[in-house]
Amino acid sequence: MAPPKSEIFTRAAFALERGDRLAELAVAYETYGTLAPGGDNVILICHGYTGNQHAADWWGDLIGEGKIIDTRRYYVVASNMIGSAYGSTGPRSTNPQTGVPYGPDFPAITVADMVAAQALLLDHLGVGRLAAIIGYSYGGYLTLQWGVTHPSRMRGLVVVASGLKGRGTPAMVAELENRFARCPGWNGGRYYGGEAEGGIRDMLAEIRLETLRSYGVDRSLRDALGDAAEARRQLEAQARLWAAEFDANSLIALRKALVGHDISPRLGEIEAPLLYVLSRTDTLFPPELAPPAMKLFRRAGVEASYHVIDSEHGHAAPRTEWHKWAEPLAAFLAERAG
């Protein structure tokens, strides 16, 4: 596969759902493959809570020439959600009014805002009706939001290891804020330039290690390496690397965006067929979510099916054991997004 094209789309004056606005909007994104003349061969990939737009890194077994998401056929677009820390406008971005990072002053954003920013990017790229939108974890919220906000703009929706209601509560946000507040250099969230010395980076690494374990990444590493000690070392290395890249204020802002998020009342607005994929051992989005979700989909008139990945890898299964859901994904794309 040819190397992805990494670029940043910008525009001025981006209005936010809750009434605020960003004076400048930036959306970092990558593309793979070639856009068809009619702009209708696009698959939009939406990443997870702490993920990024480098989709071929974390879903490289699915995306590429001759793979399920075949870049000889599809033009794949993966963008970093706003509020995140991988190039799109977020708390670490410079506030043009002050000349310093927004930090805790970053305006409140919603999942709908993230989708609105993606829509502007796709318009800029000349994308027509999308072949499909595929969202993993947090990206599943964006996928469903796309379905209700732009119901006729895609031929298929694939929601992977996600849910209809946001995993965000005021208590969860407060817990995050309190953990960082214990860092000596927190300074009310105005710590930029002193992340390492102020303990912010260490706290991020600690939180990341907990997250990777809750995702089942430790189990997948042990299975792959056959060595528990080496798996632990690699897990800790992953946590440290991520902590050096990510931003504590982004972690908080993205969690806040899920408080009260519930797409259930609007499911009737979805027009595209939908594939719902869960993992048998996922503790974040357990397979027990599927039956009630399918009832809601059917009641709303949504053409939906689901598949449970039989894996011990928990939330990480859609990535580490991709082959266990490759067949239903391929069939769905062939029938709905071709």
Q: What is the CATH number of the domain that holds 85?
A: 3.40.50.1820
Q: Is 225 exposed, middle or buried (0-12, 13-18, 19+ CB in 10 A)?
A: middle
Domain boundary (241, 256, 271) is at: 256
Residues 201 and 288 in one domain: no
User: Residue 207's pLDDT is what?
Assistant: 96
- What's the mean pLDDT in 22-40? 96
Choosing from 261, 307, 313, 315, the catalytic residue is 315
Q: What is the mean pLDDT of residues 114-134?
A: 97
pLDDT tens column, 57-106: 999 999 999 999 999 999 999 999 999 999 999 999 999 999 999 999 99
> Using an 8 Å Cβ cutoff, are 50 and 80 in contact?
no
Task: Give the pLDDT score at 156.
Answer: 98
pTM across the whole model: 0.96
Select which of 79, 88, 282, 311 is catalytic.
282
pLDDT of res. 2: 72
User: How sure is the predictor about 336, in pLDDT bands with cuts at 50, 70 and 90?
Assistant: confident
Nearest in space to 272 (alpha carbons), one of 34, 49, 44 = 44
User: Are both 130 and 215 inside the same structural domain?
Assistant: no
Boundary residue ending a domain (224, 256, 288)? 256
User: Is it the case that residue 160 has pLDDT exceeding 90?
Assistant: yes
How far apart CA 156 and CA 271 sit, in angstroms, is 9
Q: What percent of the chain has pLDDT over 90?
A: 96
Q: Among 160, 130, 153, 180, which Cα is nearest to 51's?
A: 160
287 and 158 in one domain? yes
Q: Say yes or no: 323 and 277 in one domain.
A: yes
Catalytic residue among 137, 162, 220, 250: 137
Q: What is the structure's pLDDT at 173?
A: 96
Active-site annotation holds for 137: yes
**For position 1, what pLDDT does the model report?**
66
Q: Which domain holds residue 202?
A: 170-256
pLDDT in the model for residue 159 = 98
Total structural domains within the chain = 2
CA–CA separation, 133 and 157 (whole Å): 5
Residue 338 has pLDDT above 80, yes or no: no
Mean pLDDT on 21-50 = 97
Catalytic annotation present for 47 = no
Regarding whether 239 and 311 lie in a shared domain, the answer is: no
Q: Is the pLDDT of residue 271 over 70?
A: yes
User: Do 192 and 332 lie in a common domain?
Assistant: no
